[in-house]
Homo-oligomer: A and B are copies of this chain.
Amino acid sequence: MDAAEFRKRGKEMVDYIADYLEKIEKRQVFPDVEPGYLRPLIPDCAPQDPESFEDVFKDIEKIIMPGVTHWHSPYFFAYFPAASSFPALLADMLCGGIGCVGFSWAASPACTELETVMLDWLGKMINLPEEFLAGKDGQGGGVIQGSASEATLISLLAARTKTIRRVQLEKPELTEADIMGRLVAYASDQAHSSVERAALIGGVKIKNVSSDDTFSVCGSALKKVLDEDKASGLIPFFFCATLGTTPCCSFDKLLELGPICNKENIWMHIDAAYAGSAFICPEFRHLLNGVEFADSFNFNPHKWLLVNFDCSAMWVKKRSDLTGAFKLEPLYLQHHHQESGLVTDYRHWQIPLGRRFRSLKLWFVLRMYGVTGLQEHIRKHVRLSHQFEHLVLQDERFEICAEVVLGLVCFRLKGSNELNKALLKSINEAKKIHLVPCHLRETFVLRFAICSRTVESTHIKFAWQHISQLATALLKTWEQNHHQQLQQ
């Protein structure tokens, strides 16, 4: 394919994408396929000779689309939102076209410098303390990671290195392996599985801190476990606070936790993967109070800020903590400017070496929506979740399971876990809408997350009527069965 054909096919693809997104509502949100559906539909091996674009293109509807879960359907309420917007799609096209690999400043100065400035823009939008910004000569700064999992891992590793160095100075008799064996990381029992995974990767212990009735970790809960662990010779070194937990969007109490971490020399990382985007609205910014105590902070514009995956924004107060944990400098990666204070080599800030020009997506989205446009988007989602909450509350068969703060509603039928599992099954088998469940303590709960950019009040009403009807049908059979069981 030459440039002339790309012009033609690229425009066809633009129309295909526009059609897909404009008419996505008409597609069934969750596919009908069974595991293994795809393999029989395509050849066993790659073709020897080139096929035409037409051949490939027609297979999109025939082979791919029947197996796609439509994340941008307004009937998709599962997981958390995956951001998507037209400005971000345009920026990603440009990113592909330029096709640079920005592992160092010299590998493409624009790629590095736009990222630093965009993370400053974004940091200012959520009113992050000055220390987290790069500015012209700050010690902190931001970086785009691929995912919140990587941000958590990177901060845990930086904390590990920093703590090992400190303890080795204090207690030279301990080997690195001795210290590693005593290090403990902490996170809420509501924290995302990626925190436990980061500790597994880093080869350190991790312990859950019990959350309270509102599924939040408070200072006393952390203090209790720290005291116990220190008494038994362990070395607490890392706490991952969550703002907007995955199960129910609860918030750890930073203002209590931060001072404890600071006093105990514990690195505090804040994972606000989903909720972070909301902090651009002044009315939600208070949820971030206490960030001033943190060493690192992360949220995902690719979840809720209309920037397509992947774009996970992470900031640190001391960039030398990250780069000091990993810095390796083979000659083929060295360049003339690297000793300059102005130069950032982002390869020292992340797990992979290579990186795409992802800041273009932020630049396009922030400029073409403006802060007010993005605030509108957040506020619409929060409004819709409260609409759903009110519908649930009006139906006395149902209950709300956690405070609705942002765009997630946890709800269930009053009754057993089995009953709620059956309800979820009937919802997901009907495939008119798509949800996933969670556990809150021992309770099986349905999560209704406002996801699509184009979801409106009518979709919420439809979803609720549908759930309500399925519940009616279910309760009827359920009671009959119960009645039969009693008679047997």
Contact = CB atoms under 8 A, between A and B. Distances in A.
Contacts of A35: 105, 109, 113, 337, 340, 342-343
Contacts of A368: 1, 50-53, 56
Nearest to A157: B201
Contacts of A438: 330-332
Interface stretch (A13-21, A380-388, A399-407, A459-467): A13-21
B69 A108 contact: yes
A86 B6 contact: yes
B86 A356 contact: no
A364 B56 contact: yes
A5 interface: yes
Contacts of A67: 108-111, 113
Interface in A25-40: 31, 33-39
Nearest to A23: B3
A360 B439 CA distance: 35
A290 interface: no
B356 A309 contact: yes
A97 B447 contact: no
Interface string A336-362: 110010110000000111101000100
A110 B68 contact: yes
A353 B36 contact: no
A55 interface: yes
Nearest to A89: B96
A342 B36 contact: yes
A305 to B, nearest CB: 11
Contact of A3 (B56, B86, B246): B86
A172 interface: no
A345 to B, nearest CB: 11
Highest count of chain B CB atoms <10 Å: which of A64, A66, A438: A64
B370 A332 contact: no
Interface stretch (A144-152, A209-217, A258-266, A291-299): A144-152
A72 interface: yes
Given A37-B109, A46-B366, A310-B356, A332 B436 contact: yes
Contact-size category for A: 35 or more
A387 B206 CA distance: 57
A475 B373 CA distance: 61
Contacts of A55: 367
A332 B114 CA distance: 36
Contact of A107 (B69, B89, B202, B332): B69
A467 to B, nearest CB: 18
Contacts of A66: 110
A35 B109 CA distance: 8
A50 B364 CA distance: 10
Contacts of A343: 35
A90 B9 contact: yes
Contacts of A6: 14, 17-18, 86, 89-90
Nearest to A93: B13
Given A45-B121, A367-B55, A92 B92 contact: yes
A333 B246 CA distance: 11
A241 interface: no
Contacts of A120: 44
A10 B3 contact: no
A71 B86 contact: no
17 contacts: A3-B86, A7-B14, A11-B11, A13-B90, A16-B97, A36-B136, A45-B125, A67-B109, A69-B107, A82-B101, A88-B96, A92-B92, A92-B96, A181-B181, A331-B439, A332-B436, A332-B437
8 closest pairs, A vs B, by CB? Answer: A177-B181, A67-B110, A10-B14, A17-B97, A147-B352, A38-B113, A35-B342, A203-B203
